[in-house]
Amino acid sequence: MSLGTLKLFRLALLVVFTQCLLANTVPDFELIKKGQQDGNTLLIIGGIQGDEPGGFMSASLIATHYTITKGSVWVVPNLNFDSIIKRSRGRFGDMNRKFSNLSKKDPDFANVERIKNLIQQDDVKMIINLHDGSGFYRKKYIDNMHSPRRWGQSVIIDQTKIKVEKYNNLLEISNRITKSINKNLIKKEHYYEVRNTKTKDGDIEMEKSLTYFAINRGKSAFANEASKSLPVHQRTYYHLLALEEYMAVMGIEFTRNFKLQSRALKNVIDNDISISFHDNKVQLPLSKIRNIIKYFPINKDGILKFKASNPLMTIVKKDNMYAIHYGNRRVARLIPDYLEIDDINNFVEVKIDGIKKEVKLGTLLSVNKNFYIFPQDDVRVNIIGYSRKNVKNESGISVSKNQIMKKFSLDKRGKIFRVEFYKEKKFAGMLLVHFNKRKQKAIAFNNTNERASLIIK
């Protein structure tokens, strides 16, 4: 994990998100409100179709990595969360064809009604629905992947104008968006065009869509399509270019904590993710994490409470494993060690490379040469991967990297290791030790904007 990655990791932990996914239920989607609620709100929707990661990843980055300094943005990054987890266009059918008539018996009914209600809020003046589409839309046929039949790299409108006071000229706005994107292409092939579906002229399928529902409720609405032929970070790049221009149209101002470049985006998407447990006393940086983490401490009742740095993250229990999901990806599986959980003092004393410190349980400690845990009364320390004959409590021992077996590291690079604390037989918390040649500060994971615990059964 590089220094840059560690900095991004710290930023990610300033916001945590929650969902609840229980067996045989459809999880609710997340709504994140950003900025000042001023009656001029942009509603961004990702994940209406679970096999379009560019769309939902872009929405999640607006939620986690953008600060709205003027105006109001609402973000729904995981509208069809169950289908996102299962890499399905729609577990119960295409949700983007459920906005005309829908049976109350449909498993998606509650979430469709909820998003309809959000769309119709007085504050909402513009809606952007993010998609990944096939190939490259072109007004004239070039070849099979570049033709009028394709959807990728296009801004979709249902008609040219609507009868509302603000943002009524859909064609004019969409032309502005494509012009802005086309100034910043990675390759010339990626250029955007406007696609007008002319829905009211008899497009039966598009009449069932979210955007057509929105414009018939007096809302300016667009779909943005990135090409499925591109890698996810490039799709995300184009979605964010579009979203930033839509914000400019509405007079919304923002800052972001990364450069809007393809390579930087890949780093943020892949590395800037984490999850915490047991009131932040256990933290897992998920970049390069091993596929399976054995003997992970979980409460005896099997209920695992956790907080995630990204709204696309959740945990699914299957059989006797807890799988951590991030969007379409399963990033790791936890094999539980069912224990009673104790609530000891949140702070412990350590010595890192000869420097004494007091740190919180849940801290990631950057170590150059060695570390030492000061003993506490009635507290046993277990350094996972370290073994010393006839020693059961591994506090009071100076430990270096070459004394810990690499196969017990949390990460595939063999640099991050667990230091667990027990009071009698009860689990009390964990420190992570990150061995790195560079001298770095310890990072404490303080979830200052915590929303709620997330519970999975």
pLDDT reported for residue 345: 73
Domains of the chain: 1-25+274-457 (no CATH), 31-270 (3.40.630.10)
Number of neighbouring beta carbons within 10 Å of residue 392: 8
pLDDT of amino acid 437: 58
Q: What is the pLDDT of residues 138-192, one digit of tens each?
A: 999 999 999 999 999 999 999 999 999 999 999 999 999 999 999 999 999 999 9
Q: How many CA atoms lie within 13 A of 303 on its CB side?
A: 7
pLDDT of residue 343: 80
Is residue 245 within 8 A of residue 167, CB to CB? The reply is no
Residue 265 vs residues 236, 284, 353, 378: alpha-carbon distances, Å? 8, 21, 34, 46
In whole angstroms, give the CA distance from residue 254 to residue 279.
31
pLDDT value of residue 28: 86
- Residues paired with 243 in a beta bridge: none
Q: Give the burial class of 56: count Cβ atoms within 10 A of its Cβ; 0-12 exposed, 13-18 middle, 19 or more buried.
A: buried
End-to-end Cα, the chain, rounded Å:
32
Nearest of 166, 142, 162, 138 to residue 150 by alpha carbon = 138
The pLDDT value recorded for residue 319 is: 87
For the sheet with 292-299, list strands across it: 292-299, 329-339, 321-326, 313-318
Q: Tell me, what amino acid is at 19?
A: Q
* Residue carrying structure tokens 């994990």: 1
Q: Which residues contact 249 (CB under 8 A, 6 or more apart)?
A: 126, 167, 173, 176, 177
Query: Which pLDDT belongs to residue 347?
Result: 93
Largest CA distance in the chain: 81
pLDDT, one tens digit per residue, over 194-226 is: 999 999 999 999 999 999 999 999 999 999 999
* CA 132 – CA 153 distance, rounded (Å): 8
**CA dihedral sign of residues 206, 209, 212, 216:** positive
Residue ranges in the chain modelled with pLDDT below 50: 1-24, 439-457
pLDDT attached to residue 25: 52
User: Which residues, 6 or more positions from 444, have their beta carbon under 8 angstroms from its beta carbon?
Assistant: 359, 360, 362, 363
Would you say 11 and 65 are in contact if contact means Cβ atoms under 8 Å apart? yes
Question: What is the bridge-based pairing of β-strands 193-196 and 253-256?
Answer: unpaired
3-state percent breakdown (helix, strand, coil) of the chain, nearest 5 = 25, 35, 40
